[in-house]
Structure 1
């Protein structure tokens, strides 16, 4: 199956699913420079290596993994992280409040509103509190089209992420998702979740009151 899901003017977005948890691993490659950001080294280093190899076709430059970004600390999103860091030497980025729980040192501890940049594009860090303390969504604002939101386990088709039936955590996550995603980005924004298929903010927006009423 072809991993290429979006061929945008400045970059490509590739996705593979790994592990029994159906974790998504995303790779963004700048066409002009070849610099890459991988989001969530979830599992299966050999599959990730193949993803990197496939993305060499997306640029006329020499591809280089410039950053490994992690959406949150949960074990199923970081199982290949130590091996990938050891194999590539790429720096890492994650939310400040999750960084100490990751199995590798974190080079960039991100707060809400921070940006991470490589040669060819940048990603905005959106702190979404509730699924974990330091969950981060990474947003690429395509100048030629809708934004792309890599939401980790904070937003899925049909609802927000798991908060273990904790009302305080649920209310926190729903408030952040409502304000910092739905209140900030347009309906056309594409949501790339940590598991499963993509959606758009427009497809999910009519259901916010329903999620609030059901409490999950």
Structure 2
């Protein structure tokens, strides 16, 4: 079946099958958060991005193979409500942006800086530190050697604009980071956000001027 990235709370997951990586997307309530399970096809090792909520739902998706690691994209509470339960059940190693780690009540085993590489089996994800939505938000870039890049943006980029900021300087910081570290990738780059539907950089790129003008 063709992957659409359209999932609903209580509904089935959607699976994006790449040559080296399987990406399973599921939505959990009550804030329609997305969680992503990445599975290396060569080793079957798994990594979870954002144990947002509904631990039983996430553990059901993970299955008996467990996960080696879980990455929290940023410190906002709706992205880690199930983290303690998932870690207790799987003994996964935890990753989060260095500047957000103190705001996450589950200890971060590996604080992440810009450019750090997080591995799931043979697959490498490059962290991009984006300041503005929170001080330590990270996006994860998978540069697929067989196709276009795939980026997990947390709440830093959505269809239609950047994530929420509260001060003009935070907005400018987030936009600068997105333009320098994300929008340098090709138009075909697939974006997996922390809430809602997926998008591509090619869809969003023409709107950059509009975002700057409106200031959010």
Which secondary structure does the structure 2 equivalent of 1:171 belong to?
A: helix
How far did residue 64 of structure 1 move? 3.8
Separation in structure 2 between the aligned mates of residue 162 and residue 20 of structure 1, nearest angstrom:
18
Runs of 5+ unmatched residues, structure 1: 57-62
Answering whether residue 120 of structure 2 is matched by residue 118 of structure 1, we say yes
Task: Name the TM-score, length of structure 2 as normaliser.
Answer: 0.93
- Match for 2:131 among 129, 132, 140? 129
User: Over aligned residues, Cα RMSD in angstroms?
Assistant: 1.1
What is the aligned partner in structure 1 of residue 146 from structure 2? 144
Answering whether residue 105 of structure 2 is matched by residue 103 of structure 1, we say yes
- Match for 1:49 among 56, 59, 64? 59
How far did residue 6 of structure 1 move? 0.8
Separation in structure 2 between the aligned mates of residue 204 and residue 96 of structure 1, nearest angstrom:
28
Task: Name the TM-score, length of structure 1 as normaliser.
Answer: 0.93
- Match for 2:21 among 11, 14, 19? 11
Which secondary structure does the structure 2 equivalent of 1:20 belong to?
A: coil
**How do 1:39-78 residues align onto structure 2 when only pairs under 5 Å count?**
39-53=49-63, 63-78=65-80
How many pairs align? 206
Which secondary structure does the structure 2 equivalent of 1:46 belong to?
A: helix
Which secondary structure does the structure 2 equivalent of 1:174 belong to?
A: helix
Q: 1:4-53: CA deviations, max 9, x gaps?
A: 33111111000110012100000000112110110000000111012112
Alignment check: 8 A CA contact 2:52 2:79 kept: yes
Alignment check: 8 A CA contact 2:133 2:165 kept: yes
Runs of 5+ unmatched residues, structure 2: 1-10
Deviating above 6 A after TM superposition, structure 1's stretches of 4 or more consecutive aligned residues are none
